[in-house]
């Protein structure tokens, strides 16, 4: 299916074609009127020419007859200049039809079949016939119709040629007018596009043209319903996770005490399985709390914060929890800094999730490496690669890759939500840059 035209392009194209068609129709009507006017003007010219030539010709002919001068040229009037042409010719005949006088380019035969006063068309000539009062002499003045057609063609060309310039100019003018007219619609579209889970402000319909206010008001109603649904969802997730913390912790403590009391008895294995299940439930409740905080829009900060101290602290804490201080290697100079517009607690949540993922899913035979750049921090682990087609899907909620390690599928989704609020992003690469295997997750802040 072909690419659809935008609303602006459709309006410009439709209005330009419509204007061009109107101009063509107007020019065609003008040419029709012009043709009638040209014919009337030329006919009047023929009539006036005949009425002025006839008395002069009669006077000359009568003098010649009175003086008995011979007509050596057969009645032909010579041209004043050699090589000149005539587009109006004439003949003068007597009442019997005999040719008495003619212009240089006039034929010797009759111009029309009958010599009747008035206008006639014959042999591609427009002919006007006029006679004297006593009927003794008749003059016929004729004009080649090609001369009229040439004049009409020149006039039509003068009308149509400007269209070649007017059509593109009108398209440009129409385009500018349409863009200006649709500017409020584009502004409304832009306002709607920036609305999301962290920005559900109303659209202020009163500032829009009357035609767009119903759309803005309907969108505001939708935003209000969405805001209510999101707040209910966040409240439910946060309250549920918070309320689960205490009973989960109590149940985990009782289970661990039970394991100690059972010692090596067979029931201890089942108690350890319960302990692992409770740990997973506790981790899930913690992730849900983090997700609720991230969805609340707590990440953006108006000031730049140096993240390196938090990165050092989180690396040491995660390595300590993993039971191996050398499990995480931070590749950073002692005086290095990384400034970013993000709330420090939000950054801690996002960065810790990257570390937890690397420790859980990476190879245990090599350390997790943390590197810093001008506007990014990257966490790289060894291990098997991830299909490139599945990388972006890992940032969706509750989506996990092919792994045997436990997890909720929320870590990367939480990090992506937090980074999006700062204008940054989470970039995933596998294999990791500079090596044939592994996985890299990078938090990239706005430059």
Question: What angle (nearest 5°) sits at the alpha carbon of residue 277, between those of residues 273 and 280?
Answer: 140
Is the Cβ–Cβ distance between 78 and 70 less than 8 Å? Answer: no
Lowest mean per-residue pLDDT among 17-26, 193-202, 206-215, 230-239: 230-239
Identify the CA nearest to 26 among candidates 148, 150, 162. 162
pLDDT in tens, 208-246: 788 888 888 888 888 888 877 767 766 766 676 667 777
Report the distance separating Cα 406 and Cα 273, nearest Å: 14
Identify the CA nearest to 310 among candidates 261, 269, 349. 349
Q: What is the mean pLDDT of the chain?
A: 82
Strand ranges inside 124-220, DSSP E: 125-131, 137-144
Tokens of 299: 């990440």
Name the helix (H) or strand (E) containing 133.
none
Report the distance separating Cα 259 and Cα 270, nearest Å: 9
CATH code of 7-75+85-151, in short, is 3.30.450
Helix (H, G, I), strand (E, B) or coil at 443: strand
pLDDT in tens, 280-322: 877 777 777 777 777 777 787 778 899 999 999 999 999 988 8
pLDDT for 107 equals: 81
pLDDT for 1 equals: 44
φ and ψ of 235, to 5 deg = -60, -40
pLDDT in tens, 147-162: 888 888 888 888 777 7
66 or 441, greater pLDDT: 441
pLDDT for 115 equals: 80
Confidence of residue 72 (pLDDT cuts 50, 70, 90): very low
Among 1.10.10.10, 3.30.565.10, 3.30.200.20, 3.40.50.720, name the CATH number for the domain at 299-444: 3.30.565.10
What are the sequence ranges of the domains in the chain?
7-75+85-151, 194-296, 299-444
């Amino acid at each position: 299916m072909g690419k659809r035209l935008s609303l602006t392009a459709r309006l410009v194209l439709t209005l330009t074609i419509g204007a061009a068609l109107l101009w063509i129709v107007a020019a065609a009507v003008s040419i029709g009127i012009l043709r009638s006017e040209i014919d009337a003007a030329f006919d009047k010219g023929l009539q006036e020419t005949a009425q002025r030539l006839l008395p002069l010709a009669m006077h000359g002919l009568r003098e010649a007859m009175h003086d008995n001068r011979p007509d050596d040229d057969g009645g032909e009037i010579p041209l004043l200049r050699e090589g000149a042409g005539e587009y109006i010719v004439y003949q003068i005949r007597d009442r019997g039809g005999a040719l008495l006088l003619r212009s240089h380019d006039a034929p010797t035969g009759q111009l029309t079949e009958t010599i009747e006063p008035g206008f006639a068309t014959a042999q591609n000539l427009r002919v006007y016939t006029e006679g004297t009062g006593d009927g003794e002499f008749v003059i016929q003045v004729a004009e080649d119709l090609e001369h009229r057609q040439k004049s009409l063609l020149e006039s039509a060309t003068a009308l149509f040629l400007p269209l070649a310039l007017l059509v593109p100019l009108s398209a440009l003018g129409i385009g500018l007018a349409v863009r200006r007219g649709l500017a409020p619609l584009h502004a409304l579209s832009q306002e709607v596009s920036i609305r999301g889970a962290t920005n559900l402000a109303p659209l202020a319909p009163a500032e829009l043209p009357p035609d767009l206010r119903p759309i803005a008001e309907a969108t505001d109603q939708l935003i209000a319903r969405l805001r209510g649904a999101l707040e209910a969802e966040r409240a439910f997730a946060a309250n549920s996770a918070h309320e689960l913390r205490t009973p989960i912790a109590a149940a985990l403590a009782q289970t661990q005490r039970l394991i100690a009391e059972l010692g090596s008895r067979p029931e201890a294995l089942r108690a350890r399985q319960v302990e692992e299940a409770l740990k997973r439930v506790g981790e899930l409740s913690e992730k849900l709390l983090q997700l609720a905080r991230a969805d609340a829009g707590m990440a953006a900060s108006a000031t730049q914060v140096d993240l390196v101290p938090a990165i050092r602290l989180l690396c040491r804490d995660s390595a300590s929890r993993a039971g191996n201080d050398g499990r995480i290697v931070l590749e950073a100079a002692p005086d290095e800094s990384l400034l970013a517009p993000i709330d420090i607690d939000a950054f801690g949540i996002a960065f810790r999730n990257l570390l937890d993922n690397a420790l859980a899913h990476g190879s245990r035979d090599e350390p997790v490496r943390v590197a810093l750049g001008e506007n990014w921090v990257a966490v790289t682990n060894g291990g098997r690669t991830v299909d490139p087609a599945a990388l972006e899907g890992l940032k969706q909620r509750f989506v996990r890759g092919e792994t045997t390690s436990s997890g909720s599928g929320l870590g990367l989704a939480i990090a992506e939500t937090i980074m999006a609020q700062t204008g940054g992003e989470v970039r995933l690469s596998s294999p990791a840059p500079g090596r044939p295997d592994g996985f890299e997750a990078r938090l990239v802040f706005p430059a």
